[in-house]
Amino acid sequence: MAFKIAVAMFKGGASKTTVSLALAEAAAEAGLDVEAIDTDPMGGLTRWSLGAEEESRPLRMAVTGMPSAKQLSDRIASATSHRDLVVIDGPPPGALAIAKAAIEAADYVLLACPARPADQDSVPATLAAVREAGKPFNGVLTCARKTLLTDTGRIALHGMGVPLLKTELDLSDLVADNYLHRSRGPLRRFGIDLFDEISTKIG
């Protein structure tokens, strides 16, 4: 039976797709049979997978597009019968039914939390949905920089009741350059560290 992780945040630009990709790639590299489910109607993760195939270095995990709540529920039921891990890449703003369905389906929720306090306005609503669903969760800081503003963002998230993981996703060109490619460099390192930390937490 597959373990299911939803990467969630009721906001665009929170790096959900990047986090989902890095985590799923690291788990697959570690030997797990992984399926990533792309719930974005724009298909960001699906495009990423196709780009990697075009350069003859396909992603290590399967990617399936499921841009509706009903499709998501059905696909997860199918995937869990033969995969080790399912990573659900949360949808963009406006797709609240899909976002909540992903949270409900998950065994564990990873909140993709932007570092800038000005970008954290969707954290309380996302956190409320996770708590209402009764799911275990942690936050992962995204778009992080070595600045006072990022420190302020960590403090703000702590005040909202988000237990942050130690692993953080830096805002850098080296990370952005991974788009349409298999994860490499700092994004691969982030994924490995994230997978290791989550594995330790959930046993």
Read off the pLDDT of residues 28-40 as tens digits, 9 standing for 90 and up: 999 999 999 999 8
Distances (CA, A) of 117 to 42, 94, 121, 169: 27, 21, 8, 16
Backbone angles phi, psi at 101, to 5 degrees: -65, -40
Residue 50 is assigned to a structural domain of this protein = yes
What gap in Å lies between CA 162 and CA 124, rounded to an integer?
Answer: 9
Residue 202 is assigned to a structural domain of this protein = no
Q: How many CB atoms lie within 10 A of CB 68?
A: 16
pTM reported for the whole predicted model: 0.96
What gap in Å lies between CA 103 and CA 137, rounded to an integer?
Answer: 10
**Number of domains comprising the chain:** 1
Q: What is the CATH number of the domain that holds 162?
A: 3.40.50.300
Residue 59 is assigned to a structural domain of this protein = yes
Q: How many CB atoms lie within 10 A of CB 71?
A: 16
Enclosing domain of residue 23: 3-197
Read off the pLDDT of residues 113-164 as tens digits, 9 standing for 90 and up: 999 999 999 999 999 999 999 999 999 999 999 999 999 999 999 999 999 9
Read off the pLDDT of residues 3-20 as tens digits, 9 standing for 90 and up: 999 999 999 999 999 999
